[in-house]
Every structure is written in C-alpha cells, then in structure tokens.
Amino acid sequence: MSFRAVIFDLDGTLVDSAGEIAHALNRVLAAHDRPPFARGEVEALIGKGVRVLVERALRIARITDASLDDAVRDFERHYAEEVGTEARLYPGVRDGLLALEIAGIPMAVVTNKPRLFTEQLLQRLGILTFFRALVAGDDGIPRKPAGDMLLAAAREMGADIDSVLMLGDSENDVLAARDAGCVVWCVPYGYNEGRPPASLDADRIVPGVQEAAHLLLEPRRQVASRS
C-alpha cells in the first residue's frame, strides 16, 4: 500500500522518556513516604496519559491520603522540571523522520501526553519542526484508544485516514488505529504497559522508525526506477 501520511505515537515510539517520567513520579511518592518505583515499573504505567499514570501509581503504592487531582498537579509540577532533560530519541528516529520529510510525506504526532510537555519534549530533542500536526491529550478530543485523535491529525495533514499509517508501540495505538480506520505498524521496543510486543495485533512489527520509513518509501523508489 502507498501511504500518503504518517502518524507517530510519542513515548515509547519516538522517544525513550520513561527515566524522566520515573523521576517526577518518584518525587510524588517520596512526599508520601513511599519507596521509589523502578524504571520498569513506571514503563508499565505509561500509555494512557498523566492522570491514569498517577492514579495507577497511587493505587500500587497504597496512597489513600491524597486526592488524585492534587497528586496529578504535583506530578506535573515535578515533570515540568524534568521534561527533555533525560529523554532520548530511539536509534534511527531522526534519520527516519528526515527520509520521510525529504520524500514529502506529511507527519504528525498523536499522544495522550499534555500538549505543553509534548511540545517541550519535541523541541528540546530537535524534532518538532518535522511534524505538520500535533494532537495532544489535553486538546479536548477523546484520547487513544479512541480513534478521534488520529482522525483529527489526518484532517490537519489533509490526508484521508485510509491512506495514513500509524506507527506506535502499544495496544493503545493499535486500538486507536483500528477505531480510526488506518493501518498500524508497531515497534518491538517501547512500553506497551508491560506486555510483550508479540501480544500486539498490529499489521506489521518493524524494528524502528528508520526501517518503517524505508519500507514506506520503497514502493515509491520502485516506481521511480521503472520510469
């Protein structure tokens, strides 16, 4: 299939951000005299936005003397100091984005992460300008696993959803793509709420963003070589 646009998930697909998320979350736990979570424990909490992340953490840590709203505010205050300080692009991400940009493929990021943190993270990692559209978790659109965010991104890129490829790392991304009506590929790394990549009902598992870009652009190269 020839795809005309690509939508990327953020955390666990483009960016390894679990370390700095863990730092911020553990500061919340420390304020309630709870031991820190290991990085792997935090990775299993990522995927459905800040509120769900914090809610899960409070439940696991058995913190009952704090309101969820207050804990979310505390996390966001701490994360504002952490965002982009430790996060890194996964190998091949920049090269893959550059290849798609050179080929004229519109790209978007769709994430349940709040917009402020998303823009800061993409800016600090130097890839914000690659994306024609950005749909974030606090934009007032039903969040993944609903397909609405993907549909909004496709509209902003001027692409029909059935010509869009979604690239993610989790069941959340797969379900959103199915709901929206687009093809979905997944990377084998990332978070996926602690579940193995083999559990994903994706249309394809690809090693990374660079390899996905190569596969996506190969039909165009073949057409060009025959002309």
> 42 CB contacts (<8 Å, ≥6 apart)?
18, 21, 22, 25
User: What angle, rounded to 10 degrees, do the helices at 18-31 and 68-82 form?
Assistant: 130
Catalytic site includes residue 148: no
Q: What is the CA radius of gyration of the chain?
A: 18
Q: Among 9, 16, 74, 173, which one carries the catalytic annotation?
A: 9
Long-range contacts (CB closer than 8 Å, 24 or more residues apart) made by 25-28: 25/53, 25/54, 25/57, 25/75, 25/78, 27/74, 27/78, 28/54, 28/57, 28/71, 28/74, 28/75, 28/78
Calpha distance 177→184 (Å, rounded): 6
Active site residues: 9
